[in-house]
Amino acid sequence: MNQQFEQELMGSWQERQEYAELMQPVLGKLYRDSAVEISIFGRPMLGASAIDIIKSHRKVRRHTGDKLRLRESWPILEEMSKLQLAPAHIDLGKLAYAYHHDDKFKDMDIKTYLAEQLATIAGKQDNHPVQDVVLYGFGRIGRLLARLLIERQGKNNKLRLKAIVVRGGKDGDLEKRASLLRRDSVHGPFSGSITVDHERNAIKANGSFIQVIYADSPDSVDYTQFGIQDAIVIDNTGIWRDRDGLGLHLKAKGTKKAILTAPGKGDVKNIVYGVNHNDITSEDTILSAASCTTNAITPVLKALDEQFGIENGHVETVHSFTNDQNLIDNFHKAERRGRSAALNMVITETGAAKAVSKAYPQLEGKLTGNAIRVPTPNVSLAILNLNLNKSSDKEEMNNFLRDLSLFSSLQHQVDFTSSIEIVSTDLVGSRAASVVDSQATIVAGNRATLYVWYDNEFGYSCQVMRVVQAMSGLVYPTIPA
């Protein structure tokens, strides 16, 4: 390798790194000040490192066949940062690619181009009132929801985490709660600063003041004494799952709505964002965000049913173990779950396949399902074995699913990978409800087998947040649509 080539290679890399480093503070400021979330062809840039930004640009070629250079997207982001924008999801990659590769924009300057593309949000203000949020329970999902709420901290943030409610109150409890938020063996350290306020029994995190409240029953809390009004309570305990039980939250002073992070029972609406979130009305005071598996498979199944028609099928989930199982063999009221989760694959039931029809009734009675719990702490896999009404092949199926992940109303729910080396740990932290593994797709005529990964903790928590936003009336546009 000659010296000139080495210098050119290094110069090219350094240029990309410099542009990525220019982008980082702008991405953060747009999010904090305007609640504008930036992505690159569906890849979220919130909290992205310089390397993440470079990699996201490099992957554009897989979808388009052409490069997207950072020096092409940076001027658009820079100009965007000068505008007053209402909250939105903006795909910078798609905007930049269209500007540089679509002939209809070739004679248009960037300022004019953005004025046209961002017309629906430019010069607009978000006058929606601030919404207080309470986390009832602080387990795996509760702490991830706390991280998601805290990362939204900014002057235009409309969802404010005001309190967490837990049982306990013994000496050292506050420090332990803060420590569990600060450190996570699966999802890594908290991004920011966390301190404990003993005097006011609270946790301070990145400028957020989070009251810690101890209670044994939802209706025994008076939130108003902590300055909390009309709060949405997110119940992470799973103890109360019907309307009567969840209604206890609404008997507490200072609350107005409740969301369950588990499948709801009875007449409680089970919402899978992207599928049936339009069923949420202003009169709804109690909702369920369904289960992690239901959120992972329903968007994919809905899209497939609309495109190919689903006659029937079976869903098998290979699911990471959960706290419900025993670490070593011990008594458990459920069959097999008493056996060591860390040592065994455990066949167990899942209601996810049947629960799909609660969000997408067109598949009522068409799916069966089962689950195998495996010795991994996070990220699960759903295997969809389907009989379709139309014949297809692997290429057509994967092209459809790729386009679904990039250009459809489900682009925030369904992601897509063409990697031949991807494994479960690569999907930790995925913000999508599911990720289609295109290399594993099998299609033979009208029979299809799809492999769909999902971060059953973080990806699900992102879906819960979308339901919370919708329940609060905070539904933001995606640009380009």
Catalytic residues: 292
CA distance 56 to 97: 13
Name the residue type at position 113. Y
CA distance 263 to 243: 12
CA distance 255 to 258: 8
Structure tokens belonging to residue 468 = 């919370």
Structure tokens belonging to residue 378 = 């996070």
Contact 163, 255 (CB under 8 A): no
Structure tokens belonging to residue 45 = 């840039």
Return the closest-CA partner of residue 405 out of 94, 116, 97, 187.
Answer: 94
Q: Are strands 202-205 and 208-214 parallel, antiparallel or unpaired?
A: antiparallel
Structure tokens belonging to residue 415 = 């992601």
Peptide bond into 375 cis (omega under 30): no
Tokens 């939130």 sit at which residue?
A: 223
Q: How many CB atoms lie within 10 A of CB 48?
A: 21
Q: Is the dihedral of CA 414, 419, 423, 428 positive or negative?
A: negative
Find the Cα–Cα–Cα–Cα dihedral 35, 36, 41, 43, rounded to 10°.
-30
Task: Kindly state the DSSP code that residue 129 receives in the 8-state scheme.
Answer: P
Contact 245, 216 (CB under 8 A): no
- For 395-456, the DSSP string reads HHHHHHHHHHHHHSTTTTTEEEE--SS--GGGGTT--SSEEEEGGG-EEEEEEEEEEEEE-T
CA distance 271 to 279: 8
